[in-house]
Structure 1
Amino acid sequence: MTTTITTSSEVPIVRVNDVSKRFIIRKDNSVKERLLNFGHANRFKEDFFALKHIDLQIDAGTTIGLIGPNGSGKSTLLKAIGGIIQPTTGSVQRRGQMAALLELGAGFHPDLTGRENVYLNASVMGLSRVQTESHFEEILEFSGIGEFIDTQVKFYSSGMYVRLAFAVAVHVDPDLLLVDEVLAVGDEAFQKKCLDKIRAFQDEGRTIVLVSHTLSQITSMCSRAIVLARGSVVFDGDPYDAVSILRSGFATTIEADAHKDDRLRAALANVELGRIKGVRVMNGQGLSPKSFDTGDDIAIEVDVEVPKRLEAWSVGLHINNPLGQLVTGATSTSLDVGLGALQGPAVARFLLPKAPFGSGEYGVTVALMGSHGQEIARAADAATFSVSNHGGTWGPLRTAMTFESRVGA
């Protein structure tokens, strides 16, 4: 059951109370099999619980990330929060205007044009025709659909679907925005535009619930992350801790239930040894520009926290290109820096003077190692930075390449 709360802003914007969702899986798929098995139907079906006794409270103005292996219940939970599906047991309470991007093309009619679908989708989200008309040009400009706005959407590419759906969703003035992995479909420029819009929503105090397999989005954008596995919440807290647990090998236990509890305990134990709390990419002046130039000084700072004393520790850094290929990397140990005992917070700093990166986008992965060199925390793609293209050579390394030619003998 989904209801709407209409009380003051002090009330949580979403409250999920003991929600479970059961689906029935049939094993007799054809009509013939069902006729032959008539009267014995229960032997050929089984219950599947996509969600099991979920209790959550989401405060206004927060950004929550839902992560977990495929089939863990993330999308089902998001749909239950959005009222798209009704829980089998329990209830969901919600307040304020909501906009949802849950599935590619959801809410669009394939035989209608993009223009007609804008009005249809906006009306579903609660906007009047007059309100939609007042926002239409902004929606069109944001989507970049241009001349295709009067084309039937069944001829749209997946990227065009997402562009138009996201443009409508962010212009209905939502208090609560639900986003389910659809941003992965758009091109890089549009993804950046969407992420900038989400950050603007955060600055305005709106609430966002985000499902993403891009864990760097979780650590960079979310104030809280929830790890789901087999329909249950296994962790709810700091995004870096959540990502560490997911990356610790716990995700693989979806295929090995017998070891799930042991793996989870080991993952939580690693979190207790140490955490990566933040990663920043800065220039020589200590600022974080939108883009660097080749030859700029680049500093990467890593905030770590060690609750229990480590007799020794070290930090590792990988800088990758968008394909995940290593461009450069090092550890404090490989740079001949020995770090003594640590308990509590610390900041590790890698400095790349006059960094010769070529134009492009780069991802930063960092890891925290313990007393015996074992990895106790990792933040993959925890930060990104770009280097502008100023001509000349291209690729991950900017070289002082020259050219000459000879004509004739």
Structure 2
Amino acid sequence: MSVITVENISKQYIIDHQRGKGVNTLRDVVAENFRQWFGRGKQVESGLTREEFWALRDVSFTIEQGDRVGIVGHNGAGKSTLLKILSKIIEPTTGSVRIRGRVASLLEVGTGFHPELTGRENIYLNGSLLGMTRSEIRKHFDEIVAFAGVEKFLDTPVKRYSSGMYVRLGFAIAAHLDPEIMIVDEVLAVGDAEFQKKSLGKMRDVSTSGRTILFVSHNLTAVQALCNKTLFFEKGRLVEQGETNQVIQSYLSKVSKTRLARQWDTPEEAPGNDLVRIRRIELIPEYPDNTTHIDVRTPMRVRFEFWNMMERANLNLSLHLNSLTGECIFNVGTQSLPYGKGLIAGECLIPGYFLNDGSYTISVMVVKDTVTPLFQLEEGLTFDVEDYREGVAWYGKWPGYVRPQFRFEMEALEEVPAK
């Protein structure tokens, strides 16, 4: 039985671009308002241009009861927009969606929470929003608290919770209050490894009881472990759907593209926010033996530059090197030091004979006071490491993500005389 039917949905946004100095004076404001009210929809030369952006375009699919469906694609591919439409947070511009059953959505940290209410009160609030009676919520209350691990903070306002506590409680509520359809975005990445493993197990258990799961994640290993079907989105379009392993292989073949440097010349055009903005991220290989490609022998330096907009702050960088399937190979951070306004740089050395051959991405996060992420540049760089072997006659796939040359020796402890 189909529980979700999506027919030719599209979602359009209108992006306003201001040319030149824009509207600065009271006279400009009055004139601009006059044009908007009396211009009868005509495009008027006022320094304001409008651009159509289609976050989704002509998307159609059906999901059967009990399916565990992964949704993969680059940032900006339309995955989160789709989930918001399915969760009835936004309406599609065109097309239709039919859903049979109660939907529980966990789309971002703190979804559905009131920050002034305690964890206990938010459990009842979320349950009510899902259409549960007070007795039904009470029946699952102890399981929710135990799963989330927030017993000590149950009567604390959730505005004092860490992002990890938010996610644990939000997921526990969504998973235990018996929704027919459960929609989970990338938020599980906030939790620790133990919580992620427990959450994937819970979603698998939920699906065996006939309930349906939609799961968006950049961690393709988690998608493969959980989902029996997968949808692959690219630039707002559904380009492939089907059995998970097949779709993920197709996705990986399209996204493995080397990008060793990115730069933004001014803070206005750079990614970031009012606190920090990214200037440059670059991978600098030190090629051995006049080679022109990265292989397992190649040492590399990751250089990262950003503008700090704050007068004074203790800042550090956190670098994540991930496999192309989203698994973190390592996370390393700088020392937290006080900095004023200006351009700040950091550099990390990845030695040769460390990474195995394969495809990798690098993300860098700017952190304040060692605990508060200010901005993360996800998948800032993508690169491939080629194989290289010397003195080895075996040419099968070398297992593992790392390939270090640790000291590992053999010796004969006793020789048996030849007969």
TM-score using structure 1 length: 0.60
* 8 Å CA contact retained: 1:69, 1:251: no
Of 37, 45, 57 in structure 1, the residue corresponding to residue 32 of structure 2 is 37
Cα distance, 1:238 vs structure 2: 2.8
What CA deviation, in whole Å up to 9, does each residue of 1:317-373 have, x standing for no partner?
xxx984289577899x997468xxxxxxxxx999x9xxxxxxxxxx779xxxxxxxx
Of 182, 185, 194 in structure 1, the residue corresponding to residue 187 of structure 2 is 182
* 8 Å CA contact retained: 2:355, 2:401: no
Give the counterpart letter for 1:38 in structure 2.
N
Classify the secondary structure of the residue corresponding to 2:330: coil
Q: Tell me the equivalent position of 2:340.
A: none
Of 237, 259, 284 in structure 1, the residue corresponding to residue 242 of structure 2 is 237
Structure 2 unaligned residues grouped into runs of 5+: 37-42, 259-326, 332-349, 359-386, 410-419
CA distance in 2, matches of 1:396, 1:83: 53
2:8 paired with 1:18: yes
In proportion to residue count, which structure has more helix? 1
Within 5 Å, which residues of 2 pair with 1:31-110?
A: 35-40=30-35, 42=43, 43-110=48-115
Within 5 Å, which residues of 2 pair with 1:121-136?
A: 121-136=126-141
Give the counterpart letter for 2:13 in structure 1.
F
Cα pair distance change 1:321/1:213, threshold 3 Å: closer
Structure 1 unaligned residues grouped into runs of 5+: 1-9, 254-319, 339-347, 353-362, 366-394, 401-409
CA distance in 2, matches of 1:97, 1:397: 54
Cα distance, 1:77 vs structure 2: 0.5
Cα distance, 1:201 vs structure 2: 1.8
CA distance in 1, matches of 2:168, 2:146: 10
Cα distance, 1:189 vs structure 2: 1.4
Cα pair distance change 1:17/1:157, threshold 3 Å: same
CA distance in 2, matches of 1:248, 1:181: 22
Cα pair distance change 1:35/1:213, threshold 3 Å: farther
CA distance in 2, matches of 1:111, 1:398: 56
CA distance in 2, matches of 1:136, 1:221: 26
Classify the secondary structure of the residue corresponding to 1:66: strand
Cα distance, 1:26 vs structure 2: 2.3
Give the counterpart letter for 2:11 in structure 1.
K
Q: Tell me the equivalent position of 1:246.
A: 251
Within 5 Å, which residues of 2 pair with 1:336-347?
A: 336=393
CA distance in 1, matches of 2:158, 2:71: 30
CA distance in 2, matches of 1:198, 1:398: 43
Cα distance, 1:230 vs structure 2: 1.6
| Number of aligned residues | 276
Within 5 Å, which residues of 2 pair with 1:304-319?
A: none
Cα distance, 1:225 vs structure 2: 1.3
Within 5 Å, which residues of 2 pair with 1:1-400?
A: 10=1, 12-28=2-18, 35-40=30-35, 42=43, 43-250=48-255, 322-323=329-330, 336=393
CA distance in 1, matches of 2:52, 2:166: 34
Give the counterpart letter for 1:73 in structure 2.
G
CA distance in 2, matches of 1:15, 1:189: 34
* 8 Å CA contact retained: 1:212, 1:218: yes
CA distance in 2, matches of 1:240, 1:38: 54
CA distance in 2, matches of 1:159, 1:396: 36
Cα pair distance change 1:30/1:119, threshold 3 Å: farther
Give the counterpart letter for 1:323 in structure 2.
F
Cα pair distance change 1:337/1:175, threshold 3 Å: same
TM-score using structure 2 length: 0.58
Cα distance, 1:228 vs structure 2: 0.9
* 8 Å CA contact retained: 1:321, 1:396: no
CA distance in 2, matches of 1:159, 1:101: 13
What CA deviation, in whole Å up to 9, does each residue of 1:101-122 have, x standing for no partner?
1111110011111111111111
CA distance in 2, matches of 1:397, 1:97: 54
